[in-house]
Amino acid sequence: MFNKLAVASILSSTASAFTLPTSRTSTPTSSSTTLKSTVDPSVVTKKEYQDICGVEFDDANLASRLQKTSYLYPKHVEVIEDFAPLVDKMVDEILLETGDKAWQPQDYLPDLSVDNYMDSIKSLREAAAGVPDDLFVVLVGDMVTEEALPTYQTLLNTFEGCDDPIGTTDSPWARWSRGWTSEENRHGDLLNKYLYLSGKCDMRSIEVTIQHLITSGFNPGARKDPYRGFLYTSFQERATKISHGNVGKLAKEHGATDLQRICAKIAGDEGRHEKAYQAFSAEILKRDPDGLLMEFGDLMRGQIVMPAELMTDGKDAKLYENFSEVAQRLGVYTAIDYADIIQHLVDHWKIGELTGLSPEAEKEQEYICRLPDRYRKLAERSLNKKKEQEVVPQSFSWIFDRKV
């Protein structure tokens, strides 16, 4: 059995056998094509492929076969494979079981199957009526972000070594990806139904926004690298926990205790997921501190891309910017929070205490440790400047073009 590095060397030296000869100029037929092919069966038999790659060339072994091909980040893949047993533990201890043991959106919504369901809906709507429009705008923006879940699972499946190539792969990483997705799926469902029952929102405009966001996708700069992917999710899960938690606190202040319970439950999920992704990154640090610090520094130089940055309702070209401004004015998620999250990661991973680093990694270590104070100063300066500026009310199609 060949290891991955040996396989990469063999594949490189036998490249002509694994691509169609460039000299072929005949018209493509069922046995000839101008497209590059992974394996040319006229040159390499399935048996020869198995001898070279260490896995059979058939559909049943697709997942194993893909794992034997070359990676963009072979060392990073080897590192994350090394702590796969921990991921199994995370699946069992961090992710909830499905079915009756897991909470579901219906647990926090009126039961329309009972005779007095209208009383429950009336109570929800009366409480929602006391929630100001600006908080509803932030709630909608958070919900739209959650509803773009297909994009996020797609992203997880781009992290090399963490993917689920056949959809039911029985690896720790594939089980984590599917389990995480199943839990996240509840968030958008619950908030969507709450907003619908509240009667305060233009649900069609919201649905248009969701469709646009999923269509547009987003690029967090992970580059298929599991290191960068877990750094990003470590940051982003904490950010969503903060946002949902703060919306819930404000909802409670306005008498909407049912909405507070909803947001608290979602924030709890995000907190568990944050714990897992930060644990994954900590395991990488134990095995390859230089590698993770280099990626951490590079990722932070580009800043963290928020998942909903490309949202649009088809009318407001600055929808995300306007939504973010409202969230910042309410204190739901601010530039100060951004700096605090970086500080949390630096402290949690004890970045400043790492030793035995390469000269390049030491420079990144110093840069990363200085980032929180740098961002905090910039954030405070920006917030002070905005306090002096006149707030121009913006209309949002999500709430029937009312201005906030």
Question: Is 270 one of the annotated binding-site residues?
Answer: yes
Contact at 8 Å (CB) between 260 and 241?
no
Q: What is the predicted pLDDT for the residue at 23? A: 39
Instruction: State the sign of the Cα–Cα–Cα–Cα dihedral 298, 299, 304, 308.
Output: positive
Contact at 8 Å (CB) between 136 and 402?
no
Contact at 8 Å (CB) between 181 and 189?
no
C-alpha 152: how far from chain center: 5
Contact at 8 Å (CB) between 246 and 329?
no
Residue 146 annotated as catalytic: yes
Residue 184 annotated as catalytic: yes
Q: What is the pTM of this model?
A: 0.84
Mean pLDDT, contiguous 10-residue spans, the chain (404 residues): 39 37 40 48 65 61 60 92 93 86 95 97 98 98 98 95 92 95 97 98 98 97 96 98 98 98 98 97 98 97 94 96 96 96 98 98 98 95 86 96 97
* Active-site residue (options: 187, 202, 225, 316): 187
Report residue 193: phi and psi, to 5°.
Answer: -70, -35
Question: Is 353 one of the annotated binding-site residues?
Answer: no
* Active-site residue (options: 163, 273, 288, 295): 273
Instruction: State the sign of the Cα–Cα–Cα–Cα dihedral 270, 274, 277, 279.
Output: negative
- Three-class SS state of 395: strand
* Active-site residue (options: 147, 183, 237, 316): 237
Question: Is 56 one of the annotated binding-site residues?
Answer: no
Report residue 286: phi and psi, to 5°.
Answer: -65, -35
Residue 187 annotated as catalytic: yes
Residue 207 annotated as catalytic: no
Beta bridge partners of 403: 395
Number of neighbours of residue 379 by Cβ within 10 angstroms = 18
CATH superfamily of 74-403: Ribonucleotide Reductase, subunit A (1.10.620.20)
* Active-site residue (options: 134, 142, 147, 184): 184
Residue 76 annotated as catalytic: no
Question: Is 184 one of the annotated binding-site residues?
Answer: yes
Question: Is 146 one of the annotated binding-site residues?
Answer: yes
* Active-site residue (options: 142, 164, 258, 270): 270
Question: Is 273 one of the annotated binding-site residues?
Answer: yes
d(CA 382, CA 374): 12
Residue at token pair 């930060």: 278
3-state helix, strand, coil in the chain (%, to 5): 65, 0, 30
Q: Dihedral angle at the C-alpha atoms of 362, 367, 373, 375, nearest 10 degrees?
A: -150
Domain boundaries, the chain: 4-68, 74-403
Instruction: State the sign of the Cα–Cα–Cα–Cα dihedral 213, 104, 251, 123.
Output: positive
d(CA 168, CA 63): 10
* Active-site residue (options: 82, 103, 189, 325): 103
Q: Tell me, what DSSP letter sits at residue 32?
A: B
